[in-house]
Amino acid sequence: TITMNTNVFSLIKLPQKAKYASVLLALIAAVPGANAQNKLVSVSGKTFNDANKNGKFDPWEDSRLSVDQKIEIVIKAMTNEEKVDLLIGTGMPGIEVLTGPVGDSKQGLVPGAAGGTAELHRFGIPATVVADGPAGLRIAPRKENDKNTYYATAFPVGTALASTWNKDLLYQVGKALGNEVKEYGVDVLLAPGLNIQRNPLNGRNFEYYSEDPLISGKIAASIVNGIQSQGVGTSIKHFAANNEETNRLTIDVHVSERALRELYLKGFEIAVKEAQPWTVMSSYNLVNGQYTSASKDLLTQILRNEWGFKGIVMTDWFGGFPGFESIQKGKISDVVKQMTAGNDLIMPGIPAQKKALLEALNSGKLAQEVVNINLKRILAYVFRTPTYHKYQYSNQPTLTKNAEITRNAAAEGMVLLKNENNTLPFANKQKEISLFGVTSYAWITGGTGSGSVNNKHTVSLLEGLNSAGYKLDQELVNLYQPFAEKQVAAEMESRKSKGILALPGKLSEMKMDDAFFAKKAETSEIAFVTLGRNSGEGGDRVVDNDFNLAKEEIEMLHEISKAFHARGKKVVAILNIGGVIETASWKDEVDAILLAWQPGQEGGHSVADVIAGKVNPSGKLTMTFPLKYSDTPSAKNFPGVPAENPKDVTYEEGVYVGYRYFNTFNVKPSYEFGYGLSYTNFEYADLKLSAKTFKEKITASITIKNTGKVAGKEIVQLYLSAPHQNIDKPVSELKAFAKTKLLNPGESETIVLTLEPKDLASFIERRAAWIAEAGIYNVKIGSSSLNPKQSEKFLLEKQLEVEKVNKILPLTTPFKDLKNNK
């Protein structure tokens, strides 16, 4: 209840009077029985006499009001128009052709930001700004009539960050990201993205972390915690089951509740519970017939009721639209359904959505109580933002420090896939290197689309090796440089007109003949050959010339390897890629393979650090590299049907995604999940479980010793095998992991990993519960999913119902997902 004293007007001094008079009028109107006692306002039983002591009525600044009370007052005072203004974003500059004029917002102050929330001046509610993305802040580097620059740091892409498996390091990366967000005047970073890498061809896999939900969730939680430690928000995305780009606005994902809960939702659950992101972004796709942005099951039942999410949900940009072209036909998202589902904020927001929402509110089709809940959450969000707190941002983030952070993170995310006879490190700076591959010279920082970053400069591999003091074959450099530059210029030109969603092309390789390779092999000590791949938002990758190497690349590798090996010289392949490629057919031709991913703006330095041995590689794969694409469990269900224009995609592989499939069905991969080499060796010893019988939890301790000659870090992985009596389950699943500190030769560290009841459980649909089967559980700790080093058993005496939930998102078209019928 709110009551107030109408005499307060006399206490308000001009000009505030004019500003706040309407607030008071609205407040009074909103309060039945507002009386004339000497009290200003009473909320939830508390009464306030002189909130206008300073001559101004501003509930936001009254220290005796709790945030909730302030919010309650403001919502009561808002007109329907004002409510709608706050529920719909302020538009996205540059899309006016599609939508008509978009709103006026603070985005003008941060050009290049993706969107924001509206200002409601009379309540003192400022416009807030949200901007992409997962590999760094995406804003425009220049402003009109302004000589200053606003470059942001391009950090390694999500996959590269995840490959570090290093939660502490990623917290630091998060802090650096948050510093740029805050100092450039942005309130929320639209990141991280943590969808499951269900299929290697997803064009946005580079933004995501893993085929495994534990890694995805833990990595996301660290990054969110790091970013939010700076007092700015995050938006974990895209919730949920957004695992491909083909027809992403309309694709209907058919997936079992078990696979949803165990894989596609699990990472989000971990991130929400361990980091409370300020916001969650619902995805574009449908799940079992419902747009995720209009799914009460997802946004209210799961996210809030089950997981305790406290922040706001925003749509993805135009989420819930039946295709972009629908805008011009006047078809927009079902805003009433989105609001009711618990999708608080509609982004980027277009006039037609405002109109529809206002009509629904005015007619009563959409209940006030529903939007008031959404508004309450949006206001609580606004209240936390730096903008609300009038933070004086400097436009001077710590770019030099952040460059150092990205350089180290990128190096730590690199995965050494092969290293015959210690080909790497190659520390000899006197001997000449032949640097092949157009990508060595036209280095790929990160993928395209909203996940791209406007960084000032990218360090190519050429530049990285040069600045590390390596001697390079100059003839090659002189040939390759103009060759690469010309192609890059043409590529930029062709993408210019297509805007942010322009997909990247692939650069061609230079034609060289055998005699030329022979000459290089004569004079150089070693060959480095970079293979590059790029992809981006809005399109999936393809098998030919993308997942598989192009003919010219195979030939190049083959010829180089023939020429160099004939002279006893070595060949190193460097992979500057954002997603999985085929490696099995050519890996025997090279001596070493360094998977550098798309490592951000300092990439060339990071690779040089690893090559020189300054950094001992300690990254491991967070996904499987299959022998061939068709081995991928989702290959026959990607991107969906009908093939010409997919509408539906069925996740028939169920929970058997990635290593869960390969290892259970004994399909040999090229490189397995969890794999990665080091310049040193580690010994695993003394695995001990805290108990022989599982009670509330069990801990496993193991000692890792560096038995090699150089310092290094090891990623320790705990896989659990369940009894497999009545519950169909993958042969083993990753349930915990840790990274050692930098261990010097001979040094050891004891790692302790914990198993909770839910780690033992599977989701049993017919019981709508997480159940752990009674029996013997096998704990395997090792250096990859196929390389257990030590194992121990424990017993669960009685079946455990770990958690009972409500059923969600039933299938619209029943299908049976893959089972392990052994």
Task: Indicate which residues carry an active-site annotation.
Answer: 316
Minimum distance, C-beta of residue 244 to ligand BGC, in the bound complex (Å)? 12
Between residues 114 and 760, which has the closer beta carbon with respect to ligand BGC? 114
In this structure, what token pair is assigned to residue 574?
């460097």
Strands 286-287 and 252-254 come out as parallel
Under rule CB under 6 A, residue 286 binds ligand BGC:
no
Under rule CB under 6 A, residue 749 binds ligand BGC:
no
List all residues 6 or more positions away from 29 whose beta carbon is below 8 Å from its beta carbon: none
List all residues 6 or more positions away from 120 whose beta carbon is below 8 Å from its beta carbon: 78, 82, 85, 86
Between residues 192 and 674, which has the closer beta carbon with respect to ligand BGC? 192
Under rule CB under 6 A, residue 110 binds ligand BGC:
no
Q: Hey, which residues between 526 and 545 contact ligand BGC (CB under 6 A)? A: 537
Minimum distance, C-beta of residue 95 to ligand BGC, in the bound complex (Å)? 11
| Total residue length of the chain | 822
Minimum distance, C-beta of residue 102 to ligand BGC, in the bound complex (Å)? 14
Could you tell me which of 651, 657, 580, 654 has the C-alpha nearest to residue 211? 657
Distances (CA, A) of 238 to 191, 282, 537, 736, 814: 9, 5, 13, 24, 25
- Kind and range of the H or E run holding 735: strand 733-739
Between residues 138 and 570, which has the closer beta carbon with respect to ligand BGC? 138
Between residues 205 and 450, which has the closer beta carbon with respect to ligand BGC? 450
Q: Count the residues of the shown chain that bind ligand BGC, applying the rule CB under 6 A.
A: 9
Q: Is 306 exposed, middle or buried (0-12, 13-18, 19+ CB in 10 A)?
A: middle
Q: Is 117 helix (H, G, I), strand (E, B) or coil?
A: strand
Could you tell me which of 636, 597, 550 has the C-alpha nearest to residue 815? 636
Between residues 206 and 671, which has the closer beta carbon with respect to ligand BGC? 206
Among 74, 114, 577, 612, interactor with ligand BGC by CB under 6 A: 114
Under rule CB under 6 A, residue 450 binds ligand BGC:
yes
Q: Taking every pair of C-alpha atoms in the chain, what is the biggest distance, in angstroms?
A: 99
SS3 content of the chain, % helix, strand, coil (to 5): 35, 20, 45
Minimum distance, C-beta of residue 292 to ligand BGC, in the bound complex (Å)? 12
Residue 681 is given by DSSP the state -
Minimum distance, C-beta of residue 317 to ligand BGC, in the bound complex (Å)? 4
Between residues 91 and 712, which has the closer beta carbon with respect to ligand BGC? 91
28-37: which pairs have CB atoms within 8 A and are 24 or more residues apart?
28/4, 30/2, 30/76, 30/77, 31/1, 31/2, 31/3, 31/4, 31/76, 33/3, 34/2, 34/3, 34/4, 34/6, 35/3, 35/5, 36/5, 36/6, 36/7, 37/3, 37/5
List all residues 6 or more positions away from 793 whose beta carbon is below 8 Å from its beta carbon: 776, 777, 778, 779
Under rule CB under 6 A, residue 62 binds ligand BGC:
no
Under rule CB under 6 A, residue 132 binds ligand BGC:
yes
- Neighbouring CB atoms inside 10 A of 330's CB total 7
Under rule CB under 6 A, residue 215 binds ligand BGC:
no
How many angstroms separate the CA atoms of 515 and 533, rounded?
28
In order, the DSSP letters of 317-380 are: TTTT-S-GGGGTTT----HHHHHHHT--BBSS--HHHHHHHHHHHHHTSS-HHHHHHHHHHHHH
Minimum distance, C-beta of residue 316 to ligand BGC, in the bound complex (Å)? 5
List all residues 6 or more positions away from 69 whose beta carbon is below 8 Å from its beta carbon: 43, 44, 46, 59
Contact 543, 510 (CB under 8 A): no
Minimum distance, C-beta of residue 488 to ligand BGC, in the bound complex (Å)? 24
Minimum distance, C-beta of residue 776 to ligand BGC, in the bound complex (Å)? 44
Between residues 73 and 114, which has the closer beta carbon with respect to ligand BGC? 114
Distances (CA, A) of 463 to 365, 441, 459, 506, 648: 62, 8, 6, 21, 46
In this structure, what token pair is assigned to residue 465?
């090796």
Q: Hey, which residues between 178 and 207 contact ligand BGC (CB under 6 A)? A: 190
Contact 461, 599 (CB under 8 A): no
Q: How many CA atoms lie within 13 A of 22 on its CB side?
A: 11
In this structure, what token pair is assigned to residue 18?
């004019």
List all residues 6 or more positions away from 570 whose beta carbon is below 8 Å from its beta carbon: 423, 526, 527, 564, 591, 592
Q: Hey, which residues between 639 and 678 contact ligand BGC (CB under 6 A)? A: none
Minimum distance, C-beta of residue 447 to ligand BGC, in the bound complex (Å)? 12
Q: Hey, which residues between 294 and 323 contact ligand BGC (CB under 6 A)? A: 316-317
Among 182, 237, 261, 266, interactor with ligand BGC by CB under 6 A: 237
Under rule CB under 6 A, residue 453 binds ligand BGC:
no
Minimum distance, C-beta of residue 196 to ligand BGC, in the bound complex (Å)? 16
How many angstroms separate the CA atoms of 717 and 749, rounded?
14
Residue type, 185: G
Give, rounded to a whole angstrom, the gap between the first and last alpha carbons of the chain.
63
Could you tell me which of 324, 364, 323, 319 has the C-alpha nearest to residue 344? 319
Between residues 114 and 731, which has the closer beta carbon with respect to ligand BGC? 114
- Neighbouring CB atoms inside 10 A of 695's CB total 10
Q: Hey, which residues between 405 and 424 contact ligand BGC (CB under 6 A)? A: none
Between residues 115 and 676, which has the closer beta carbon with respect to ligand BGC? 115
Minimum distance, C-beta of residue 343 to ligand BGC, in the bound complex (Å)? 15
Contact 806, 783 (CB under 8 A): no
Under rule CB under 6 A, residue 735 binds ligand BGC:
no
Minimum distance, C-beta of residue 302 to ligand BGC, in the bound complex (Å)? 20
Under rule CB under 6 A, residue 208 binds ligand BGC:
no
Could you tell me which of 810, 812, 821, 814 has the C-alpha nearest to residue 260? 810
Contact 95, 348 (CB under 8 A): yes
Minimum distance, C-beta of residue 208 to ligand BGC, in the bound complex (Å)? 11
Between residues 381 and 441, which has the closer beta carbon with respect to ligand BGC? 381
Interacting residues with ligand BGC (CB under 6 A) = 114, 132-133, 190, 237, 316-317, 450, 537
